[in-house]
Structure 1
Amino acid sequence: MYLASLFVETQKYHTKVSDSLIYDHSICLERLKTSQTNCGDPQHIFMPPFPQATPFISRRTSRFGPPNHVLTVQRPFSLSHGTTTLGFIFQGGVIAAADTRASAGGLVACPAVHKITPIHSHLVVTSSGSGADCMLWERILIREIRLYELRHKRRLSIRASAKLLSCMLHPFKGTDVCVALTLGPRVIYVCSDGARLQGDIISVGSGSPYAYGVLDGGLSWSLSKEEAISLAREAVFRATHRDAYSGNNVDLFHIDAQGWIQRPREDLKEEYYRD
């Protein structure tokens, strides 16, 4: 997703010092186009005004080489990322759980992010993927649901919320948008390509294979509330124990007919020593 403002100098040439320092902006000016702001439709996201945005943005024209010399700019770290989020249904409602580590390659960017976001009184979303994309689409979903309530004087259903998000994400299929959201109290998975799946148990992220192993072995419909919370905590802990992209703390939400309840954040080191 391209959410940057591009400022191009009006001066086309720098002809001082020597011919080797001539810097021609015409190459950039030919490839950039002027776009109007998206104030009229805030939901509309402008794509880059030139083809093959990723290789173009990662390259720049060097001021210290011959004209048209291109220097590749290396990123300080890879853009790979991971997480562990999960949600499942039992007789007492839905449990949503997630770790709190934000990673970028081998870098722990933040140890205490919030990957579970309350959308309204009966709906929470767990997010996995690019942090910026997930936060943007969560805000868009919150706005659209609130507008629906104001217009129709009733709350949008969980299935309708998932369908709305899927329809909004589908036009960005094949782009660099990276979003994977799980909505509760019905456990519905929505991906950035527009896919929408519903199930009794869903886990998303690089740690999900380890979480599934714990959930498949211990989940049953007849679990009590405390047993379900303990199972979710155990699943996230086992995933973070093996997955380098997940870790630090665990956030837990319980959603029932009365709404969602957030459990206190727990440090996974305590779970490790308890084990």
Structure 2
Amino acid sequence: MALESICGVSRWPFMRRFDHVQTEWQLEQLRDGTSNFENPYALMAPPFENPALNLCKIVDHCGIQMDFAHGTTTLGFKYQGGVVLCADSRATSGQYIGSQTMKKIVELNDYMLGTLAGGAADCVYWDRVLARDCRLHELRFKRRMSVDAAARMIVNISAEYKGMGLVMGMMLAGYDDEGPKLIYVDSEGVRCHGNVFSVGSGSPYALGVLDTGHRYMMTDQEAYDLARRAIYHATSKDAYSGGIVRLYHINAQGWRNISNTDCSELHDVYCKDDNSCDSACTSGGCHNELPCSSGSQRPKVLPENDVLAQVAAVTQE
């Protein structure tokens, strides 16, 4: 056997084992399926055209019940103290709650964070790739990657895999040489800067709170309270959002994890505040300048004398 190996006889076709061809084919398939281990940008595509459209047809033809519906609530906004990111932790697949502890805010480096919304596998994988590239950028160029460069990288990935079923909506927040940054990117190739963003199925409810309560000249505690309140109202009205509310703050010193609070604890706080505000507004004694809660968003009841005075002024004009 040693002489055969030295002479190369064992490599002749008639000297191979009967299962050698099958083993080679399996190894080739394994190499193709794990090509992203060497190059994380080279993913194995589905073996049919237009996966986003044809996968649903194949699933219906096979009679397999697969529900790709998903939901979440993430938000971010800028103010005088930097950038605040807040998100829930519930991961769902249709009506099924897969996890209550999903971490939807990812630490990319000491000065940049990313949020997850959409397909959990897509967002987690590309956030890990982005974190890897951020670290390599620091080692190669001896400086941190800018938030704009990170957003451009995700947009290029989205353009490369557009139409292949990639579902991803992310916010990138950080602090670089140009100051605080907040950028929204998604799987359709959209990239835009802004001061207030909310992504996910509960975003309409969160934006309703942010639109009425957000202002640039806020203190840190006011910003924290606004972010928690917005996520709480989203979780109370959106069945696909819930779990733990995680809050992060980014400034010139880097990011900090401010709190991780369960939604039930926030309910005990904000529901009590809303009830007290309801009674105050009903009696005409509500003087909140920043209507952040559902109770304080109701119109103020004017005393009868003030109403009569306004009506008289209009009629005289």
Unaligned segments of structure 2, at least 5 residues: 1-18, 20-28, 175-180, 272-317
1:131 corresponds to 2:123: no
Contact kept in structure 1, 2:232 and 2:266, CA below 8 Å = yes
Partner of 1:247: 242
Between the aligned partners of 1:46 and 1:247, the Cα distance in structure 2 is 33
1:43 corresponds to 2:41: yes
Between the aligned partners of 2:30 and 2:142, the Cα distance in structure 1 is 41
Partner of 2:59: 58
Partner SS state of residue 207, structure 2? helix
Between the aligned partners of 1:254 and 1:34, the Cα distance in structure 2 is 43
Unaligned segments of structure 1, at least 5 residues: 1-9, 11-32, 60-70
Q: Higher helix proportion, which one? A: 2
Q: Number of aligned residue pairs: give it.
A: 233
Q: TM-score, normalised by structure 2?
A: 0.69
Partner of 2:143: 154
1:216 corresponds to 2:211: yes
What residue identity is the alignment partner of 2:44? F
Between the aligned partners of 2:106 and 2:49, the Cα distance in structure 1 is 34
Q: Alpha-carbon deviation of 1:72?
A: 2.0
The aligned runs of 1:5-84 (5 Å cut-off) are: 36=32, 37-38=34-35, 39-51=37-49, 53=51, 54-55=55-56, 58=59, 72-75=62-65, 78-84=67-73
The aligned runs of 1:109-258 (5 Å cut-off) are: 109-185=98-174, 186-258=181-253
Partner of 1:94: 83
Contact kept in structure 2, 1:172 and 1:193, CA below 8 Å = no
Aligned-residue RMSD, C-alpha: 2.1
What residue identity is the alignment partner of 1:198? H
Q: Alpha-carbon deviation of 1:271?
A: 1.5
Between the aligned partners of 1:258 and 1:119, the Cα distance in structure 2 is 15
**Range with greater deviation from structure 2 (262-271 or 122-131):** 262-271
Between the aligned partners of 2:130 and 2:40, the Cα distance in structure 1 is 12
Partner of 1:271: 266
Between the aligned partners of 1:167 and 1:151, the Cα distance in structure 2 is 21
Q: Alpha-carbon deviation of 1:152?
A: 1.1
Deviations for 1:219-270, whole angstroms, at most 9, x for unmatched residues?
0111100000000000000111111110122000000000000023101111
Partner SS state of residue 264, structure 1? strand
Q: Alpha-carbon deviation of 1:73?
A: 3.0
Deviations for 1:174-217, whole angstroms, at most 9, x for unmatched residues?
22111111011311001012210110000000000000000010
The structure with the larger Rg is 2
Q: Alpha-carbon deviation of 1:135?
A: 0.5
What residue identity is the alignment partner of 1:44? A
Q: TM-score, normalised by structure 1?
A: 0.80
Q: Alpha-carbon deviation of 1:51?
A: 3.0
Q: Alpha-carbon deviation of 1:48?
A: 1.4
Between the aligned partners of 1:230 and 1:133, the Cα distance in structure 2 is 31
Q: Alpha-carbon deviation of 1:56?
A: 7.2
Contact kept in structure 2, 1:178 and 1:192, CA below 8 Å = yes
Between the aligned partners of 1:246 and 1:150, the Cα distance in structure 2 is 38
Partner SS state of residue 44, structure 1? coil
Change (3 A) 1:55 1:200: closer
Identity of aligned residues (%): 40
Partner SS state of residue 131, structure 2? helix
Between the aligned partners of 1:233 and 1:209, the Cα distance in structure 2 is 15
Between the aligned partners of 2:38 and 2:268, the Cα distance in structure 1 is 54
Q: Alpha-carbon deviation of 1:115?
A: 0.3
What residue identity is the alignment partner of 2:226? L
